[in-house]
Amino acid sequence: MLLPDKVFYRSVPELLNAGLTRSGTPVYLQLMGNNPSVVADNAAKAVELGALGIDLNFGCPSPTVNGKGAGAILLNEPEKVHQIVMAARQTVPSKTPFMAKVRLGYDNTDNIIEIAQGIEAAGADMITVHARTSADKYKAPARWEWLAKIRESINIPVIANGDITNIESFQQCQAISSCDHYMIGRASVRHPFLARQIQQSIQNKSIQPINWHEHQQLLLQFALLMKESKNDIGSASRVKKWLKILSKGSKATQQDADNLFEQIKPMKTLDQISQILTAA
């Protein structure tokens, strides 16, 4: 079944902006499914609608998704993963970057090398590996040693993912995996300047300390962008939610974040919150 256009635009509004975020970052569109021809048709449609790259998700641990035979449960079936990637690669133009994201397995690591080799053989340009099994969920420590084993078994680049939360964990992951690319998940929400700090550490520059004022500016930007969107119901609580997460990101900004949270907690509208953030 082909998804209607509106589903693509709702999930990836950047399609209406030549596939780019407002700041110009290319957005790759991720698909998930267990039927090779359905995934392939939707991948082709995503490219037609302007997606700059396609990613296939074989890492989702959601019981609902897995119950439908999609996501991480497919890691029990390396041949099926290979077929899905191959079918989709064939419909996506070769110049369009095409990748897959996996975990180490569903509840064991037995298949992961075969899966990675199958994804490469099917023509993917890159593979992202979240270094946990689905059974590990999000809590068990990421097993970065597997990233090195996978990297050595294939020739396409491996993007390392899992538990990169600060410069030290990035350096450890790099030392263990020797990957060329890294993906930060949850920590990028808690600690929005982590990627900048890591980049500065790679370039041997002095690391810019975490700065509450910058966080506040980001929150204001977030509030203003949501105000602009057509549907801003629930937006005020989303700003509060992000502020709560930010307060857990760094000891340096925790007190300021907590104080601001107490100030905006009773507010119901984005206008009220934006006023406080602007004045701060």
Point out the residues that are catalytic.
Answer: 60
d(CA 172, CA 166): 10
- Reported as half-sphere exposure (CB side, CA atoms, 13 A), residue 179 has a value of 31
Nearest distance from C-beta of residue 177 to ligand FMN, angstroms: 14
210 vs 267 by CB, closer to ligand FMN: 210
DSSP 3-state of 169? helix
Binding mask 69-108 for ligand FMN (x = CB under 6 A): --------------------------------x-------
Contact status: 40 vs ligand FMN (CB under 6 A): no
| Near ligand FMN in 119-148, by CB under 6 A | 130, 138
Query: Token match 């689905």: residue?
Result: 134
Nearest distance from C-beta of residue 252 to ligand FMN, angstroms: 21
| Near ligand FMN in 159-218, by CB under 6 A | 161-164, 184-187
Number of residues that bind ligand FMN (CB under 6 A): 14
104 vs 226 by CB, closer to ligand FMN: 104
d(CA 32, CA 73): 12
Reported as type and span, the H/E element at residue 18 is none
Q: Measure Cα distances from 128 to 55, 143, 150, 262 in Å.
A: 9, 14, 11, 39
Tokens of 77: 């079936």
Nearest distance from C-beta of residue 148 to ligand FMN, angstroms: 18
d(CA 213, CA 205): 21
d(CA 18, CA 174): 33
4 vs 185 by CB, closer to ligand FMN: 185
Contact positions vs ligand FMN (CB under 6 A): 30, 57, 59, 101, 130, 138, 161-164, 184-187
